């Protein structure tokens, strides 16, 4: 019966079906912090991803040992949800090929995604993806490893629409600090702060272009870090603006204490959630035909919005009524 159809089946066609990424992408480059992050993920569940960092995390001269350690973490039983990825060195770096080969060769099936930093063009993204896919083939890895791209150079921002359209790309992240550095001192230090990064016109423009490009290609836009990790009010305000004003659906964390703050900021309010539940249930009861709810007409266009709000509540670990969990998220 049509009324029993799951919202995903009733409201979206096959090309629109996707599994949204967790809201938080937590970065760590030191082994002790990797272990703590894996422990926290085990406690909270797969409401955040972990990215093990080979680029900034590896000590100079110790790249080989670092990548081997990261591969071991990926294969560890501590990676219990399969939501751990890795950031490799840029394509232009001598360690890129060795990073990719070691991670894919030793832990390709266990890796959730691979992050590409500092591409300067679509051509660089294409070349990196070609090397990654050749490595997957060489090592007999059958899954298509999702690729995330860091937009942090002038060239990548110029071609962000084309990069977002690349079929191998799952997510675009904004690299705030490298982007500011690329302006050779013309952007003041204040623009790196939790508040300033939203008010400086060049940074706001970059964030909006990345977000728009990602959404236009049904990819996930991931917001940059807030470095004032002890200032939870500033972090919450920044995360709220990233989600509600700049349309980001994911955000970086660089300290375990930031994870829950970001989850809370990205979660819908109780009032929003209650409204979404009522509208989705009423629509489903009417076999997804138009309905009137509190003197407002709703149809499939608004049903999609309210369903996506419910999904966001689920992805942020929001407490949902048991009947809603069972009806819509029992398979997760």
List the binding residues for Mg(2+).
152, 178
Token duo for residue 284: 């489903």
Q: Is 140 left (phi over 0), alpha (psi -120 to 50) or beta?
A: left
Give me the phi and psi of 52, to 5 degrees please: -85, 125
Q: How far is CA 76 from CA 25, 72, 110, 224, in A?
A: 19, 6, 9, 28
113 closest CA partner among 83, 138, 89? 83
List the binding residues for substrate.
87, 152
CB 198 within 8 A of CB 241: yes
For residues 20 and 23, what is the distance between their CA atoms, to the nearest angstrom?
Answer: 9
259 closest CA partner among 54, 18, 38? 38
List the binding residues.
87, 152, 178
CB 27 within 8 A of CB 319: no
For residues 83 and 332, what is the distance between their CA atoms, to the nearest angstrom?
Answer: 14
Beta strand ranges found along the chain (DSSP E): 24-28, 48-53, 84-87, 114-116, 147-151, 169-174, 220-223, 250-253, 291-293, 296-298
257 closest CA partner among 26, 56, 93? 26
Token duo for residue 183: 């302006």
Collect all residues with Cβ–Cβ distance below 8 Å to 315 and sequence separation of at least 6. Answer: 20, 22, 23, 47
For residues 177 and 181, what is the distance between their CA atoms, to the nearest angstrom?
Answer: 6
For residues 6 and 15, what is the distance between their CA atoms, to the nearest angstrom?
Answer: 16
């Amino acid at each position: 019966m049509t009324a029993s159809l799951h919202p995903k089946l009733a409201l979206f066609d096959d090309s629109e079906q996707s599994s949204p990424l967790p809201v938080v992408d937590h970065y760590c480059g030191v082994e002790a912090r990797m272990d703590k992050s894996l422990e926290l993920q085990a406690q909270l569940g797969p409401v955040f991803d972990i990215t093990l960092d080979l680029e900034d995390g590896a000590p100079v001269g110790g790249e080989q040992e670092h990548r081997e350690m990261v591969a071991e973490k990926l294969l560890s039983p501590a990676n219990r949800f399969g939501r751990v990825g890795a950031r490799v060195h840029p394509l232009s770096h001598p360690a890129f090929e060795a990073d990719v080969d070691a991670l894919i060769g030793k832990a390709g099936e266990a890796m959730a995604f691979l992050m590409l930093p500092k591409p300067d063009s679509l051509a660089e993204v294409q070349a990196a993806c070609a090397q990654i896919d050749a490595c997957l083939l060489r090592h007999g890895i059958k899954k298509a490893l999702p690729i995330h791209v860091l937009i942090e150079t002038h060239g990548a921002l110029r071609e962000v629409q084309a990069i977002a359209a690349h079929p191998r790309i799952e997510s675009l992240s904004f690299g705030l600090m490298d982007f500011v550095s690329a302006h050779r001192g013309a952007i003041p230090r204040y623009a790196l702060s939790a508040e300033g990064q939203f008010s400086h016109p060049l940074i706001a423009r970059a964030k909006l272009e990345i977000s728009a490009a990602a959404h236009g290609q049904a990819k996930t836009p991931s917001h940059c870090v807030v470095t004032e990790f002890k200032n939870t009010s500033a972090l919450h305000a920044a995360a709220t603006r990233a989600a509600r004003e700049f349309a980001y659906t994911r955000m970086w964390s660089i300290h375990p204490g930031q994870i829950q703050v970001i989850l809370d900021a990205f979660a819908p309010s109780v009032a929003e959630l209650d409204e979404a539940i009522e509208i989705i249930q009423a629509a489903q009861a009417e076999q997804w035909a138009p309905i009137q709810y509190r003197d407002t007409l709703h149809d499939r266009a608004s049903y999609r919005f309210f369903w996506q709000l419910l999904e966001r509540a689920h992805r942020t670990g929001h407490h949902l009524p048991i009947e809603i969990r069972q009806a819509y998220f029992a398979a997760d």
